[in-house]
Structure 1
Amino acid sequence: MKRSLEQRLQDGPVICGEGYLFELERRGYLQAGSFVPEVALDNPQALKQTYRDYMLAGSDVVLAFTYNAHREKMRIIGKEDLLEPLNRQAIRLAKDVAKEHPEEEALVAGNISNTNLFNPEDPQSIESVRSMFAEMVGWCKDEGVDFINGETFYYYEEAKIALEEITKQGIPAVITFGLMGENVLRDGYSVEEACRLLEGQGALVVGMNCFRGPATMQPYVEKIRQTVDGYVGALPIPYRTSEDHPTFFNLPDGGCACSLPTDTTFPTSLDPLYCNRYELAQWAKEAHDIGVNYIGLCCGASPSMLREVAETVGRTAINSTYSPDMEKHFLFGTDNTLQPHITSYKAKA
């Protein structure tokens, strides 16, 4: 039998590949802007291949792609009738792929997320959010997920509701926050205090995901690690955020030579602002060294980036066989059978 999430956490770091939202948009199967995962119904084979690519790159988890697949978002795009079929299909596809892992069946995680509806001053919105989470968690329970990942919350109180609904169903919970440029959650809690509270309420893993790159997420991850006793998760975006621009929502691109269709580089013009895989590896080492247990990448991540993270913390991915090896490169290789009249050009190339 496959090990549970808690068992794997006890044995060492767990790798979780996220980033499907941007990756599937990049592959041409998802609309930027609305960012609704209709791909589960429209192109299930494309979604399965994306799941597969992240799993083979080192992810211990196949995260069902139901981010934004909640009733409020489906209402906005006028497709509430697709809500339940989409959620169930995304989980079933994830389960199919998880069984393909050649060494140990991958974990399957359900997924609920920020609703963009929650308003602490509006009791009706609070009840609507609870109802939305309850139905999604119920479908996760029916479909037999191993745990539920509640993510990208920027209100503590919304995350608390998510945890309550997950706990009611007896399912392990990973809860992570998206911290905006205010550097506190929207209802005034520090992210480390919110994580401490959720840990006390039964979350198996607490931490952060999305919005921030390694440089501007790591200081807060360190605070969380110092504040909580249990397992800590960190899944940054792979972009070069800075103190002046701590999230990817307003990252400038000083080298851009064209006019952009949006006011900022987010979400479709972020390409020049990527961290390279070695910067991500450096972050992964720092996170692992301070005791982060649940490690991954979020929006913008590619499988090769995730593989670098996994290898950095001591894991060998199925697709590590394709990790870079420059020994036989025609120009930069060191193999003594390469043509010296070509390799001599490397200083001038």
Structure 2
Amino acid sequence: MAFNKISLLERLKTGPVVGDGSMVVLLEKRGYCTPGIWTPEAVMLYPEAVREILREYIHAGADVITTPCFYSSDARLRRGNKTFTAADINEAACKMAKEVAKEGRDVLVCGGLSPVEAYTDGKGEAAVKEEFEEQLKIFIKHDVDFVLAEFFAHVEEIEMCIDVMKKAGKPIAASMRIGPMGDFNGISVEDCALRMAKAGADVVGTNCMFDINTQLKTLRRMKDALEKAGLNREIMCQPPGYLCPEVENTLYGQPHLPEGPLLFEPRLMTRFEVHEFARAAFEQGIKYIGGCCATEPHHIRAIAQELAPERMKDPPSNDMCPPYGVFLPQSDFLLHRNRNTKEYWRNLQPGSGRPYNSPLLKF
């Protein structure tokens, strides 16, 4: 039976939308992706591994799954596995995402576009747009529900991408990997938001590189600038899955940290930190909330659980894993039985998990 899905923008009018989380970083942790290059050959080489991660996000409560083709451009693919083209990967990623989304019934499929090397190589607007058109045409062919430009460092490049994305005739979301210092050309946070909106983005925001607290500060400035200019746009936030407060006042964010990209695990957020983030983001007027690098399905579950009253539904996983330890009184361990309250978990200050570790890294 056909199912008429509610569009992204209609959903955002009525309440929060939960995005999905990391793909290539999770694939790398499982041995299916090359670190540093981060291109998504896994959709061709290990399709079941990719399908399983998509399914886990849906089970966690995501309203959206993104086509698993981040950084799929021929220039980047030539650095690593030279067997597949970007078209091969995007085609497989679209088919896979559409197939898995049907299992979730009302899950939206987002076609994700990534920055291109033609821009950083200075090849000019025509060459840049040609690469974006190559990414987009497969999303048009497979009729994705909306398109997203993500992980952009230069507002000029994302403007070019948004212009191309209009050809899809779908809602457009646009997010940049920027913090308080603005984009890599020195354009302010406020001007980045205004330029994305004026270029045609329906949803604007940030993703990756800076943690939850820094992104909330950055998005507050974006939202204020849009409201002051009379531009009514929805706001999105997809932070990485770990905390990195030291890099708030840097341009590049997390790449400054010497642990990157292979030793971030001690920084991973707890599910309860994600609960608090989701509530703070929604109260700040951010309606599209998901995650980026290292955001795990249990983090997405925390967002879906926290915002369940506003979404008027629980995530599918709630029957087995409700928030705040509801089933802990049934634990085999006496010491766990009284830890079934929101207050206990929200007020707990967890240890780092590494004995004798310094609380912060100096770099």
**Partner residue in 1 for 2:256:** 250
Distance 1:53 1:222 in 2: 31
**Partner residue in 2 for 1:24:** 27
Cα deviation code 1:239-277 (max 9, x no counterpart): 1111445622123xxxxxxxxxxxx21111100111211
Report the CA distance between 1:117 and its aligned residue.
Answer: 4.3
* Residue pair 2:114, 2:151 contacting (<8 A) in 1 also: yes
**Partner residue in 1 for 2:116:** 115
More displaced, 2-11 or 183-192? 183-192
Helix, strand or coil for the counterpart of 1:150? strand
**Partner residue in 2 for 1:69:** 72
Report the CA distance between 1:330 and its aligned residue.
Answer: 2.2
* Residue pair 1:166, 1:172 contacting (<8 A) in 2 also: no
* Residue pair 1:281, 1:312 contacting (<8 A) in 2 also: yes
Distance 2:128 2:201 in 1: 19
1:153 aligns with 2:152: yes
Report the CA distance between 1:70 and its aligned residue.
Answer: 1.1
Distance 1:239 1:27 in 2: 18
Compute the TM-score of the two structures, normalised by the length of structure 1: 0.86
Output the aligned Cα RMSD. 1.9
4+ residue runs over 3 A deviation = 243-246
* Residue pair 2:33, 2:42 contacting (<8 A) in 1 also: yes
**Partner residue in 1 for 2:303:** 309
Distance 1:35 1:198 in 2: 26
The code of the aligned residue for 2:140 comes to: K
Distance 1:244 1:69 in 2: 28
Cα deviation code 1:120-167 (max 9, x no counterpart): 9x3x24333211101111111011111111101010011001100001
Report the CA distance between 1:175 and its aligned residue.
Answer: 0.3
Report the CA distance between 1:286 and its aligned residue.
Answer: 0.8
Q: What does 1:38-77 correspond to in 2, within 5 Å? A: 38-77=41-80
Report the CA distance between 1:327 and its aligned residue.
Answer: 2.0
Distance 2:209 2:129 in 1: 24
Q: Which runs of 5+ in 2 are unaligned?
A: 227-231, 340-363
How many residues are matched? Answer: 318
Q: What does 1:1-349 correspond to in 2, within 5 Å? A: 1-77=4-80, 79=82, 81-101=84-104, 104-119=105-120, 122=122, 124-179=123-178, 183-228=181-226, 229-244=232-247, 247-251=253-257, 264-314=258-308, 315=311, 316-323=314-321, 324-325=325-326, 326-331=328-333, 332-334=336-338
* Residue pair 1:112, 1:150 contacting (<8 A) in 2 also: yes
CA distance 1:217–1:132, shift in 2 (3 Å): same
Identity %: 26
More displaced, 43-52 or 70-79? 70-79
Distance 2:176 2:86 in 1: 24
* Residue pair 1:225, 1:290 contacting (<8 A) in 2 also: no
